[in-house]
Amino acid sequence: MKDRVPFDVMTYNTVIGGWAKCGRVNEVEMTLKKMVEDGFDPDNSTYAYVLEGLGRAGQIQNAVKIFEGLDEKEGCVQHVEVYNALISNFMTAGQIDEGLEYYRKMGSKNCDPNNETYVRLISAFLKARRVADGIEMFDEMIGRRIIPNTGTITSFLKPLCSYGPPHAALVIYKKAREAGCVISLSAYKLLLMRLSRFGKCGMLLSVWNEMLDSGYSSDVEVYEYVINGLCNVGQLESAVLVMEEALCERGVYPSKLICSKLKNKLLSSNKIETAYKLSLKIKAARCNENAQRYWRAKGWHF
């Protein structure tokens, strides 16, 4: 291949990076040797890939030895890309405190962490349920004016909405909004789901309004979360209004489970007339939904 394709540093880095992602240390070493033999000096990206490959192969201590040996190579160890690779190795292995030590060393080397550094650290903290440390690191990230993108915020909220109360997720959400981050519809749904489950009705409605103000439309999942949350705290009249809005104004049909839950709550609260009227509206909406499905199956779309 070298006879047909001219190799340079970028080409070698691409090949080394590919082997590194597979944890193929022998191939990484062979390619690195050929790179040096061809007269190309490894750069920061090269060493980052080498450390990544060693980490994926479970050879973290070897990665540390190479990293420490880079002190004699000017311009390598000070680079954030190399630090990120080593920190990521520790985070993946669950050795968070060890990775945190190298994060702190960055300051003494005049190496500023970047977005990738913080994402890896915060994600590791949240995965390990060290929520306070994750929020503290997020504060530091925002304080450095490193603004995470939409997908990153969603990735932070996802684990927070899978365990424990929604307080920590709301803290991240509010700080992200204040920093000017764009919140995705998926992130809003995660928050609504968690708030609904814990019966945080006031905050549920507040987040819902903020979602609508951001330009997103409510789909069936959103309506189900809101109705379920209102049912959980006994605000049945409000739940009925939201159900009617979904059925009559938006043409959205919540699941039978949510409809049955609301009707049973109304009946147990002796709101028989309200439950009956709601049942008629749900029945009419279901007929309309079934008709739409039938005609769409026949090729008619309206």
pLDDT in tens, 113-142: 999 999 999 999 999 999 999 999 999 999
> Under a CB-based contact definition with an 8 Å cutoff, are residues 252 and 219 in contact?
yes
Position with higher pLDDT, 288 vs 85: 85
pLDDT at 123: 96
pLDDT at 301: 63
CB count, 10 Å around CB of 50?
A: 26
pLDDT at 2: 55
pLDDT at 17: 87
Of 112, 59, 108, 110, residue with least CA distance to 86? 59
pTM comes to 0.86
- Domains assigned to the chain: 1-114 (1.25.40.10), 178-302 (1.25.40.10)
pLDDT at 76: 52
pLDDT at 13: 85
pLDDT band at 22 (very low <50, low <70, confident <90, very high): confident
Of 91, 107, 95, 88, residue with least CA distance to 49? 88
CB count, 10 Å around CB of 258?
A: 21
Residue 287 scores a pLDDT above 80: no
Position with higher pLDDT, 79 vs 190: 190
pLDDT band at 166 (very low <50, low <70, confident <90, very high): very high
CA dist 66 → 23, 49, 83, 85 (Å): 16, 12, 12, 12
Q: What percent of the chain has pLDDT over 90?
A: 62
pLDDT at 246: 92
Which of 26-30, 97-101, 234-238 shows the lowest mean pLDDT across its residues? Answer: 26-30
CB count, 10 Å around CB of 6?
A: 7
pLDDT per position as a tens digit, 39-85? 888 888 899 999 999 988 889 999 999 888 886 665 555 689 999 99
For residues 28 and 5, give the distance between their C-alpha atoms in angstroms, rounded to a whole number.
Answer: 19
Q: Which long-range contacts (CB under 8 A, 24 or more apart) does 154-159 make?
A: 154/184, 154/186, 154/187, 154/190, 155/119, 155/123, 156/122, 156/123, 156/126, 157/187, 157/190, 157/191, 158/190, 159/126, 159/127
